[in-house]
Amino acid sequence: MKRFLRILQENLSEERISHSLGVARTAYYLAQKHLPEKKEKAFLAGIVHDIAREWPEERFIAYLLARGYEITSEDKLNPVVLHAPAGAYFIRDMLGIYDEEIFNAVSRHTLGAVDMTDLDMIIFLADLIEPGRNFAQRQKLLIASFRDLKRGMLLALENTLEYLTKKNKTVDSRTLMVLNYFREEVAKKSKI
């Protein structure tokens, strides 16, 4: 436990630790609603999800390359997204948390993925709605996420797309793919 805390402190600023605790707590509450048998796991994934967020880009790129991770041309345009998979490997290799579900949830917390598990969605959404976040749609996203994880994901991705469009920024093709996936998933649900 001491080592765990030391590694957290070595990698994260105080601000980021407080964000991570906010994500952990929010993930716990979301799990209490949607995945009660894994609420402790959600808490743990929340604490460690941003472990590589403050590394210099070259460090997480080198870290991933050393582990055979394939870096795409889109990753190179926006390398910060790579803190998610780099963090997942770091948690496995340095913190000794060998858990595939935590690995995936951490790895998918920036771009999301098609076929996300409930735990993946919980970490993705908790990252956005934790109490330290402050943006116009936060409350709406929080309510949607507690009601239904997939609807929460759809709203979150639509917000991202709107934000990037407004700012004239390029949209990662993976974000569009994941957005389409959740549009279909939510449409399917509405038909039932």
Q: What is the contact mask toward Fe ion in residues 71 to 110, using x (rule: CB under 5 A)?
A: ----------------------------------------
Q: How far is the CB of 33 from Fe ion (least distance, A)?
A: 20
Nearer to Fe ion, 88 or 185 (CB): 88
Q: Rule CB under 5 A: is residue 127 a binding residue for Fe ion? A: yes
Q: State the Cα–Cα distance between residues 179 and 11, nearest whole angstrom.
A: 31
Q: Rule CB under 5 A: is residue 172 a binding residue for Fe ion? A: no
Q: Which stretch binds Fe ion (CB under 5 A): 31-39, 46-54, 115-123, 153-161?
A: 46-54
CB atoms within 10 A of CB 83: 25
Q: Within positions 131 to 160, which residues make up the interface with Fe ion, using CB under 5 A?
A: none
Q: Which stretch binds Fe ion (CB under 5 A): 36-44, 124-132, 156-164, 172-180?
A: 124-132
What crossing angle do the helices spanning 138-147 and 118-129 adopt, rounded to 10°?
160
Nearer to Fe ion, 120 or 127 (CB): 127
Q: Rule CB under 5 A: is residue 130 a binding residue for Fe ion? A: no
Nearer to Fe ion, 127 or 172 (CB): 127
Exposure string of 44-77, with b = 16+ CB inside 10 Å and e = fewer, is: bbbbbbbbbbebeeeebbebbeeeebeeeebbee
Q: Rule CB under 5 A: is residue 50 a binding residue for Fe ion? A: yes
Q: What are the CA-CA distances from residue 119 to residues 16, 61, 103, 130 (Å)?
A: 21, 26, 11, 16
Q: How far is the CB of 190 from Fe ion (least distance, A)?
A: 30
What are the contacts of 184-188 at 24+ separation with CB within 8 A? Answer: 185/150, 185/154, 186/150, 186/151, 186/154
Tokens describing residue 85: 């998979």
Q: Rule CB under 5 A: is residue 185 a binding residue for Fe ion? A: no
Residues engaged in binding Fe ion (CB under 5 A): 50, 127
